Amino acid sequence: MARANVVRTDRPYDYALLSEDLAGLLEAHANLDVRSIGVSVAGRPIPALRIGDGPVRIHYNGSFHANEWITSLLLMKFAEDCLTAVNTKTGIFAEEMKAIFRRATMWIVPMVNPDGVNMAIHGAAAVPAPYRSLVLPDGGEPDFTQWKANVRGVDLNDQFPAHWEEERIRRGITAPGPRDYGGEAPLTEPEARAMAAFTREMDFHMVFAFHTQGEEIYWNYRGFEPDHAETLAVRLASAAGYKAVRLTDSDAGYKDWFIQEFRRPGFTVEVGRGANPLPLRQFNAIYRRLAKLMLHCLMLPVS
């Protein structure tokens, strides 16, 4: 019998808790596969979870930005609920999960930026010695709760080769820091390289990058998106009570690169409302809406 409630939702979600929950889910659910897609700057393996074996390949990721760590917890809770539904022959929102996962394979990278997440939660104590001069140039100990970048001060969602230079000029940030510095070139950071290589290897039909906050879904990129992308975004927005938004003046993100390279639907989903990091007291309300969206994603047409 599958053991329920491995994933607790009442604690700031750092890399240690992610690792603990992955071990618990693997013990409880024989049909879960976990692999590492690469390592972070500080050497932490970046895990990916696979559920299902269907021909439609769907990808979800979270915590590109460190202070958006609640997205990792949301994805891990959804993974657990899916596994429990399949293994107990029950459904989520009255949907038959076994049938869904015969159609679809879901790959989740819950924490793209593990070093940054640990910094955002634990502060300067989580900065490895080799990188302290980059993120603590004056020797001080700033409040890292607003930190978005990785441990080298590079914003991983400004790292992709999709009009990267234009985004660098628009941002105007030329040195490492808490946010918006895209590095010296695209894909300089191991976390971004791992995501690009993993995405090419898996050849996903659709990808979803989860961020916070705003309750919006961004679905377009410079006209490279397929014709039905907006229709899909509107359907997803309706499922969650979010708003589908045509985004302009934004480049170099993971979703942008995926759409440009594959000409397939890619979405950035901004969950919740308020100031980052979103407080855990909002978790249940956010999850109820987001789980509907993620479940709907698994049933969307891919052509």
Instruction: Provide Rg for the chain, Cα atoms.
Output: 18
Q: From CA 261, how far away is CA 13, in angstroms rounded? A: 32
Regarding beta strands 56-62 and 104-109, do their DSSP bridges make them parallel or antiparallel, or are they unpaired?
Answer: parallel
d(CA 41, CA 66): 14
- Tell me the pLDDT tens digit for each residue of 44-58: 999 999 999 999 999
Around Cβ 173, how many Cβ atoms within 10 Å? Answer: 16
Q: How far apart are CA 146 and CA 141, in angstroms?
A: 13
Q: What is the pLDDT of residue 4?
A: 59
The predicted model gives 239-257 an average pLDDT of 97
Predicted confidence at residue 1, as pLDDT, reads 39
145-159: average pLDDT: 97
If one counts every other C-beta atom within 10 angstroms of the C-beta of residue 102, the result is 13
Q: Where are the domains of the chain?
A: 1-303
User: What CA–CA distance (Å, rounded) separates 187 from 209?
Assistant: 17
| Contacts of the segment 96-101: beta carbons below 8 A, 24+ positions apart | 100/52, 100/54, 100/295, 100/298, 100/299, 101/51, 101/52, 101/53, 101/54, 101/298
Nearest to 92 by CA among 83, 104, 82: 82
* CATH class of the structural domain 1-303: alpha beta
Predicted local distance difference test score (pLDDT) of residue 140: 66
Which residues belong to the active site? Answer: 270
The model's pTM is 0.97
Q: Which pLDDT score, from 0 to 100, does residue 134 have?
A: 85
Query: How confident is residue 139, by pLDDT bands cut at 50, 70 and 90?
Result: low
